[in-house]
Amino acid sequence: MQKLQPLVMFTPLARQKLGEVLEEEKATDSYLKIEVYQGGGCACSGGFRYALSLEKAPMETDVVEEVGGLKVMAAKGDAEMLRGSKIDFIESLQKTGFKIENPNVRSDSCGCGAH
């Protein structure tokens, strides 16, 4: 049987920043929930938007994995769209925050001008 890729991977900076958020929120025992929304966005993201939140416990329909010492969860359908994605943390004049690079999204062109 082929082993599945991790649900997500974190860059060292993203892992550090997430650890800081967990400490600040006094939520070190929380789960990081990743949600995928369709619609909006440019072709580069396949029209997907992502939301990150801290949750106390998973729901029955969530897929839960431990990644780099963090408890990560996503709804079953979202998990299949996310699997193998990389979460990075970006700091620039225009944008600061977590960014998800999803290898499951395919796009031949981008009209947003950012890529």
Among left, alpha and beta (phi > 0; psi -120 to 50; other), residue 43 is alpha
Least confident of 5-14, 23-32, 37-46, 47-56: 37-46
pTM over 0.85: no
Let me know if residue 114 belongs to a domain.
Answer: no
Q: Please, which pLDDT band fits residue 115 given cuts at 50, 70 and 90?
A: very low
Q: Is the pLDDT of residue 106 over 90?
A: no
Q: How far apart are CA 59 and CA 61, in angstroms?
A: 5
Q: Looking at the predicted structure, is the pLDDT value of residue 59 above 50? A: yes
Question: Residue 10: phi, psi to the nearest 5?
Answer: -115, 140
Number of domains in the chain: 1
CATH number at residue 66: 2.60.300.12
Q: Which two tokens mark 40? A: 């909006």
Examine residue 87 and state whether it is found in any structural domain, yes or no. Answer: yes
Q: Please give the residue range of the domain that contains residue 16.
A: 8-101
